[in-house]
Amino acid sequence: MGKAAEDEDHVSSGMLDSPTMPTPDLPPIGPSPTPYPDVNAVLQLLVEQVRAILGADLVGLYLYGSLSSGDFDPVSSDIDFVVVTRRALSGDTLVALRAMHARIAASGLPWATKLEGSYIPRTALRRHDPANAHHPSIGVDWDFGIGLHGSDWVIQRHIIREQGVVVCGPPPQMLIDPVTPDALRGSVIDLVLDFWAAQVQGPEPEWLRPRDYQAFAILTMCRALYAVERGEIASKPVAAAWASAALDRRWSSLIERALAWRHDTRPDDMTDMLHFVHYTIERCRQAQAP
């Protein structure tokens, strides 16, 4: 890698990290990006603060997940976002971003504690590279810090490219290479055989006992099976409808319960859910075999 590429991908902890640096050529903030005023309010605060800290190193901010797929649930969804930067971030910039997220979380705004996102330089976002996969992130269940962006980011990149909502910046198709159906299948299979297979080995996983997490697991399995079969990523409702029609009818009532989990007051018996996860794991092993 030459000197120009190194400069493109890395911001030192010196003057380039200053939150007060000049901010020419910043991407403009677009109109309300979602149909939800409270979500837009916290996004407006986020993008204004990010612009102030990153300055000209901000390329764009995009929404993905349920806000881009059309199955956003005001009761249970998060705000999934990615900030694309001109260069990798370090030093004072990371300190400033950590403090910024703490301020937003304490702001009292609805959805202020539901932000889940990453800060990825544009060269790393263009295509998944396991050797360049550690980037700053924050989530509902973890504090701001450097985290591994694993093979599931093949899927996330595809969603951002094809469905991403632009808060500010150029169209995501300009920043991300197309993801092939086979690459999507491979990433989904890896995710199921690595993460989910580990979750259901041994004793029953207690984190999956609550009804909402069981619904999450069941609908995630529907999305995985849909992707393996069709080489496409679908929203949870679309994947659930497909699975109810395409799979053995023994899973239909389980999928219906997952879609209606808020209205299901039966005890949190994980047996059927675990059987469905094991079924999905086996289907993925069969798909991987050739």
Domain boundaries, the chain: 3-174, 181-288
Superfamily, domain 3-174: Beta Polymerase, domain 2 (3.30.460.10)
Give the list of residues 6+ apart from residue 169 with CB closer than 8 angstroms, or none.
27, 58, 59, 60, 61, 62, 84
Tens digit of pLDDT for each residue in 46-97?
999 999 999 999 999 999 999 998 888 888 889 999 999 999 999 999 999 9
Mean pLDDT computed over every residue of the chain:
88
| Tens-place pLDDT, residues 185-223 | 999 999 999 999 999 988 889 999 888 889 999 999 999
The kind and range of the H/E element at 286 are helix 271-288
Q: What is the pLDDT of residue 19?
A: 38
Q: Greater confidence, 110 or 71?
A: 110
Comparing 179 with 13, which gets the higher pLDDT?
179
Residue 27: pLDDT over 80: no
**pLDDT tens profile 113-158:** 999 999 999 999 999 899 999 999 999 989 999 999 998 999 999 9
Distance between CA 136 and CA 172 in Å, rounded?
20
Distance CA 260, CA 215 (A): 8
3-state class (DSSP) for residue 43? helix
Q: What is the pTM of this model?
A: 0.83
